[in-house]
Each structure stands twice: as C-alpha cells, then as structure tokens.
Amino acid sequence: MIGSGFGGAMAAWELVAAGLRVAMVERGGWVERGPQNWAGEGAFVRTPAYAPDSAFRVLQGRRWAEQNLCTCVGGPSVYYGGSSFRFRQGDFDPAPEIVGGSGAAWPLGYDALEPYYTQAERLLGVAGAAGSDPTEPPRSAPYPYPPSPLAAPSRRIEAAARSLGLHPFPIPLAINYAAETGCRRCTTCDAFACAIGAKNDIATRLVPELVSRGMQLFTDTLAVRLVAEGDRIAAVDCRGRASGEALVLRAESFVLAAGALATPHLLLASGLERMNPAGHAVGRYLMRHCNAMTYGLFARNPNPGNEHHKQLAIHDFYFGVDEKDAPPGKLGNMQQVMGPPAAMLEVGLPRPIARMATPLVEHMTGLLSIAEDQPRAENGVRIDPGAVDRFGLPRMSVTSLYSPRDLAARAALIRRAKKILRRAGAWGTATWKVSTFSHAVGTVRMGDDERTAPLDPDCRFRGVENLYVTDGSCFPTSAGVNPSLTIAANALRVGRRMAARASPAHAEAAG
Ligand SMILES: Cc1cc2nc3c(=O)[nH]c(=O)nc-3n(C[C@H](O)[C@H](O)[C@H](O)COP(=O)(O)OP(=O)(O)OC[C@H]3O[C@@H](n4cnc5c(N)ncnc54)[C@H](O)[C@@H]3O)c2cc1C
Ligand code: SF4
C-alpha cells in the first residue's frame, strides 16, 4: 500500500477487515496536534507537510511556477475542509460538452457506489441533512449525524440566497460536533490541522485503528520504484526520507494511492506505462476543478462571534442554467468559505500589504465556486529522466491549462456568487482564483475501454496482474463537487473486491 490518504487508508480498511496482512508506506510523518495547529504557522503551506523535498514545476497560464506536495500521515485530509459530497447520479454519465474528445467514460454508475458512500460517511462521521440538497442522489441511509446550527454569517448568506429564489442547504461535513470531545467551531479549519482531533480526517479516524489491528505503517518513507517481473509487480523499492536508507517490500498485491500527481509520477518513473495498452494515457487528463473564492466586503464584521461558517452549499446552478452568460451544460457547486486567516494572507502577499489587508479580513466572508473542468490530454504529469532528486526519483513537471469552457463555467459561477454576496449586504467583492492542486484527479483513469483507460473497472492497472490504483487518479471526470468522499467510496469498493479475490470467505461475508 503506497500512500496513507483517502485512497490508501480506505482500501486498507477492507483488506485489514478481511484478515489480510497489509504494509503501508507513507512519504510524510504524523502531524503533531496542539495549539500550534491553529496559529499562523499552522496553515498547511507553512508546515513541514508542504514538503520542499517534493517540489515540482507547474505550467499554468504562460508561466512556470513551483509547488510542493502535501505529505503527511492521512495526506491532505489532515488539512482539508471536511466537505463530504457524493457525486450526483448524472456525474457518472458526463455530457459531451464536458467529455469533449477525451474518451472519458465511467465504467460504473452511482448505484454501484451507493453502499460504499454510506460506509464512507459512517467511517468519517459525516454530519448532514438528507433531503435538503435539490440535486441529491438517492441514499440508503440518513447521515450519521445532524449538521451544526448556522452561525451568523451563514444565516445571512442563507437569507440572501433564499430571497433570490435559491435553495441553500447544509454542507455534509466530516466534523465531530459531539459535546464532550467535539468541535469548537473555530475559523482555522480549512487548510489547518485540527488541534483537538474534532475534524474527522484520515489520520484521526482510520490510520490509528488500522495500525491497532495489525497494519504495518512505515512513515517518512518514500516509494521510488515499482519493480516488475513478467506481468506482475514483485517489489516496491523505498527510501527513508531522512536517512536515504533503502527498504524493499515484497507482496502478493500492490495498491498505489500516492495522489493524482505522485501516482502517475511513480508509474512513469517505473516505466510501467510500457506494459499498459493505454500507456499513452498514464499521467494525462489531469483535472483539478476550475475554482475561485469570491469574498464580500461588509461594513460591519459579519462574524462577530468568530465562528466556523463553512456551512452552506448551493446547487441551483449545478447542472447548468439556461442563461446567455453561462456555457451550456453543467457548472458545478458553490459553498461557503471563511475569510482567509491573516496567516494565509502573509503566504500570498508581500508582508507590508498583508499587514494592511489584515483588518479587512474581519469584514469578509465568501463563497467558493467549484466548476467542473474538462479532461484534456495536454494536461498532466511528465517526468524528466535526466534530472533525478536525492531519492533517485526523476523530476516531475505538471501542465495544467484551463479550456475556454472551464473558464466560462467558473466565470458564470463567480457572477452568481457576487450577486448573493451583494444581496447579503456586501459593499464590494474580490475574487481569488485558486491555482493549487488540492482537487487533483484523473491522471490514471478507469474505464471499460482498454485503449483509452489505463485502469480496468476494478481499478487494476492493465497489463500488470497485481497492481491497483485507488486514489483520485482513477476518476474519468472531475464532477462539480469536492472529490474526497468519492475517492473514499471507490477505494472501499476496490478494497472489498481485492479482499474477495484473496479470500473467498470475505466475498461471502460481503455479499
Ligand atoms: C487545504 C485543502 C482543503 C481541502 N478540502 C477538501 C474538502 O473540504 N473536501 C474534499 O472532498 N476534498 C478536499 N480537499 C481535497 C482532498 O484532500 C483530496 O482530494 C484527497 O486528499 C485526495 O486523496 P487521494 O487518496 O487521491 O490522495 P492523497 O490524500 O493526496 O494521499 C496521497 C498520500 O500519498 C503520500 N505519498 C505521495 N508520494 C508518495 C511516495 N512516493 N511514497 C509514499 N507515499 C507517498 C502522500 O504523502 C499522501 O499522504 C482539500 C485539500 C486541501 C489541500
Ligand atoms: S472548526 Fe472544529 S473541526 Fe475544524 S479545526 Fe476548529 S475545532 Fe477542529
């Protein structure tokens, strides 16, 4: 098992439950929990988890920039916002205006994933309100927990949206609101680790339990090569992150879940695309949503109680709007986003400007627009075998250019976000276009067609008997909601099928 994020830990959950012996290698270490998580230095881009030793080059727009991977036990879930959406039924049957010439097609429908969504919501203790989302797919069980009461800024957004004829509803959140251990409703949640473990991330909810049930976890250890013998993987070569010491792990089956950038990086570094009939697609079709945060500036602090208020989402525009200013077809999700903590300003702006802007932050609250982006062959991960890092991994570069449709969908959502914020009383608005890869998916997609999809419908890497990919890389399209719950549900599905193959008794127990 390579990677301890959503895809790795959820697949491991099923394998360990079936009594199989599992070893997991994770590039990062445990994130320490304490008050420092909520201080400026706790913003994830300022922590050691945003690891300079994983730096890669990115071409976005006309410029090359540098970014790092988020590496730690639990992966970026430790720093995530907890939004836990199921894909809509229609997301599994994407329209031609999204698919374009990419050949992307899901090999499974919503019904196949529904039981695993229910299981993932239970494992992550998701708090939500069934029946409140106008585009919600059918569900076989209610949410495990009810949502928290709305904070002042959320009530304001709710009233404004309703007065415009919209239908805001509670974001399903993987947050523990139970009174004794629970959430303190702070504003440093998204992009920060939770100091008290009330955010139900993978490092809090799954990994310790997996270890206590016998899973062997190697932290601060990188996989650097998958070694093939014939049509099987025989071993994975690893390096200690600090010591550089070599470790070779052998197993019956291997699960690659290093995230949608690091997974194709490892496959290409190992030359495995040459064994796959759709090898040309390995590393391509990268998507990351076309996101923007639009902030409203209010005369008075809209959040005098300084409360957590990433609480409401709006799906009235999800499947599109019949209006001239929007492209035909799906647009995506809109959800609340809290004003950027002052610490984050210092990351994005020169320090004197950040200091001047800090008082303004208290007068801001916002809406995040998540536009579905198109899978396109030109976007993806490449390696430069001539330049290797100190671990022996070839240098990775990433190309990510939005299509005119991606940009038009985002612009249409931004205009609607501004309208809601103005109706809520904002004097003015400012928009920040997101350039990170926090929602990266799609680089080793699954599908029925062996000419276009490197993974088969069970997420087995074609051409190699015993290699599976269970992270966000496997998505054929990105849909218009945050990806983690779907990564989790699919990894549980694949883990269950792997376990059934390894142990027929588990297949019977699993039905
Ligand atoms: C600030 C932030 C907020 C977010 N908020 C939300 C949200 O509210 N809702 C939502 O659905 N999504 C959210 N996301 C996105 C979500 O976290 C990702 O979609 C999800 O974590 C991806 O899961 P994964 O299994 O594909 O890979 P990851 O979770 O990225 O896991 C990959 C793991 O592999 C490890 N790894 C990498 N390379 C190697 C190697 N060579 N050897 C060993 N280990 C390796 C990494 O360290 C990592 O732990 C957010 C992300 C960020 C950064
Ligand atoms: S809002 Fe709750 S879950 Fe999020 S960091 Fe604060 S205490 Fe933790």
What is the per-residue pLDDT across 453-476, written as a single tens digit (0 to 9) for each? Answer: 999 999 999 999 999 999 999 999
Strands (E), 131-245: 169-170, 216-218, 221-229, 232-240
Task: Determine if ligand 2 sits within 6 Å of the CB of residue 496.
Answer: no
Residues in contact with ligand 1 by the CB-under-6-Å rule are 2-7, 25-28, 44, 69-71, 75-77, 79-83, 190-191, 222-223, 257-260, 262, 266, 438-439, 471-472, 482-484, 487
On the question of pLDDT at 236 being above 90, the answer is: yes
Cα–Cα dist 286/284, whole Å: 6
Higher pLDDT, 319 or 39: 319
Ligand 1: atom nearest CA of 485 is 11
Name which residue sits closest to atom 2 of ligand 1, judged by CA.
80
CB 28 within 8 A of CB 47: no
Q: How confident is the model at residue 508 (pLDDT cuts 50, 70, 90)?
A: very low
Q: Is the dihedral of CA 487, 488, 491, 497 positive or negative?
A: negative
What is the per-residue pLDDT across 257-284, written as a single tens digit (0 to 9) for each? Answer: 999 999 999 999 999 999 999 999 999 9
Q: Which range, of 154-158, 221-225, 291-295, 337-341, averages the lowest pLDDT?
A: 337-341
Distance 186 CA to ligand 2 centre (A): 5
Residue whose pair of structure tokens reads 């142990």 in the numeric block: 503
What is the per-residue pLDDT across 85-135, written as a single tens digit (0 to 9) for each? Answer: 999 999 999 999 999 999 999 999 999 999 999 999 999 999 999 999 999
In this predicted structure, what is the pLDDT of residue 489?
98
Percent of the chain scoring above 90 in pLDDT: 88
Ligand 2: atom nearest CA of 308 is 1
Task: Determine if ligand 2 sits within 6 Å of the CB of residue 78.
Answer: no
Q: For the chain, first and last CA: distance in Å?
A: 25
Residue whose pair of structure tokens reads 């390579």 in the numeric block: 2
Ligand 1: atom nearest CA of 6 is 25
Distance 194 CA to ligand 2 centre (A): 5
In this predicted structure, what is the pLDDT of residue 38?
87
Distance 468 CA to ligand 1 centre (A): 17
In this predicted structure, what is the pLDDT of residue 355?
78
Q: What angle do CA 120, 455, 72 make, to 5 degrees?
A: 50
What is the per-residue pLDDT across 315-370, written as a single tens digit (0 to 9) for each? Answer: 999 999 999 999 999 999 999 999 876 666 766 677 777 777 788 888 999 999 99
On the question of pLDDT at 506 being above 70, the answer is: no
Q: Which of 77, 177, 184, 310 to mutate to test the pocket of ligand 2 (most atoms within 8 A of CB)?
A: 184
Ligand 2: atom nearest CA of 199 is 3
Cα–Cα dist 284/139, whole Å: 33
Strand partners of residue 312: 170
Q: Residue type for 400, please?
A: S
In this predicted structure, what is the pLDDT of residue 307?
93
Instruction: Identify the structural domains of the chain with CATH numbers, from first to last.
Output: 6-510 (3.50.50.60)
